[in-house]
């Protein structure tokens, strides 16, 4: 049985994560990450498998900026839920039994009051 991630954290001094998915997508001519989980899942999976095979302890999902605030304020035509679910599924396919998947909730691209126009509750709701 696989241990839970919090227990795993207590067993190692150093945890190795994967690398930048966006950079690897760009190298393959796939600028913009939002739709790649849906439109190019084989490429995302290939990148995830390469990172998993490199010996990392955990993969991060290909979900940078996939939250409702970012999607709305940047006029990205995509379902946040659909993209995020696809990303988790791809990462899970790539890992071995001794590896973990971590969700990348990232930033909204917006600032909290008083520096921006968003209230703390809006950020909370977007990540919830």
Taking only the tens place, the pLDDT of each residue in 38-51 is 999 999 999 999 99
pLDDT band at 106 (very low <50, low <70, confident <90, very high): confident
Look at residue 125 and tell me whether its pLDDT is greater than 70. Answer: yes
- pTM for the structure as a whole: 0.89
More confident residue, 106 or 96: 96
What is the signed CA dihedral for 107, 113, 114, 117, rounded to 10 degrees? 90
Residue extents of the structural domains in the chain: 5-127
pLDDT band at 95 (very low <50, low <70, confident <90, very high): very high
Q: What is the predicted pLDDT for the residue at 107?
A: 87
Look at residue 37 and tell me whether its pLDDT is greater than 90. Answer: yes
In Å, the largest CA–CA distance within the chain is 48
DSSP 16: -
Look at residue 35 and tell me whether its pLDDT is greater than 90. Answer: no
Q: What is the predicted pLDDT for the residue at 1?
A: 64
Q: Is 46 left (phi over 0), alpha (psi -120 to 50) or beta?
A: alpha
CA-to-CA distance for 124 and 2, rounded, in angstroms? 30
Q: Which CATH class is domain 5-127?
A: alpha beta
């Amino acid at each position: 049985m696989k241990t839970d991630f919090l227990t795993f954290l207590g067993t190692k001094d150093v945890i190795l994560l994967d690398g930048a998915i966006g950079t690897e997508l760009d190298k393959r001519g796939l600028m913009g990450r939002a739709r790649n989980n849906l439109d190019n899942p084989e490429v995302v999976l290939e990148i995830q498998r390469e990172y998993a095979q490199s010996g990392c302890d955990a993969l991060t999902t290909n979900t940078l900026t996939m939250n409702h605030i970012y999607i709305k304020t940047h006029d990205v035509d995509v379902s946040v839920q659909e993209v995020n679910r696809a990303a988790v599924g791809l990462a899970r396919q790539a890992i071995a039994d001794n590896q973990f998947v971590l969700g990348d909730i990232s930033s909204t691209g917006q600032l909290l009051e008083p520096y921006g126009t968003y209230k703390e509750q809006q950020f909370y709701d977007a990540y919830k």
